[in-house]
Structure 1
Amino acid sequence: MLLVLALSKPSLTRMRAVASTYVSALDRDQLGERIDFLFTDGKPGRMSREEMLMHVITHGIGHRGQVSAVMLLNAVPASKDGLTTYLHEAEASTRGRAAA
């Protein structure tokens, strides 16, 4: 059985707004600031804020790929969740497309 968990549109919108506000307020020095942390295995790590933000973006992409593979293996139609599809549906008028 395939279990799909989804965030509601309001929570995604709020999360995007919070992230955008946070990132927009960072200057170049803050983005480059290195922060010490512990990996889940307890080993020490150090990354800049910029690297951490890139990790958050790419980490989610990996999970989306895994979910897509599970969907295909279970004969579930692939979702239309790609950036290109989103942009053309969300901004149809500016991308030479009729709104859906």
Structure 2
Amino acid sequence: MSLDGRRWQVLAEINSDGGLIDAADAARRVCDYCLRRSGASDVALSLMTSTRAVHLVASAGPRGGELSRLQFTMGEGPCLDAYDSGQVVPVADLDDAAVARVQHHRE
């Protein structure tokens, strides 16, 4: 399937009822979709400005919003790393990532 075909398939699944939805509902549906399809336990969608001002738009999962707010409060985490580098920063387990960061700061 082409990338455009896949995009339309995802959009159709996100808006399966076919009704009009506002931006906040669309963001929530995107998070729900990502949670179902990725196997992740939590998902969040945030917007950042060039000055790193952050707005949490939507989240899914029991800790999605909480974990995102914590990253932005602490000033570090995989979302900020991805923003700064412009690259995807995959983290299989945030507990492992947290341990690695603590060890790095101790060195």
| TM-score normalized by the length of structure 1 | 0.22
Greater gyration radius: 1
| TM-score normalized by the length of structure 2 | 0.21
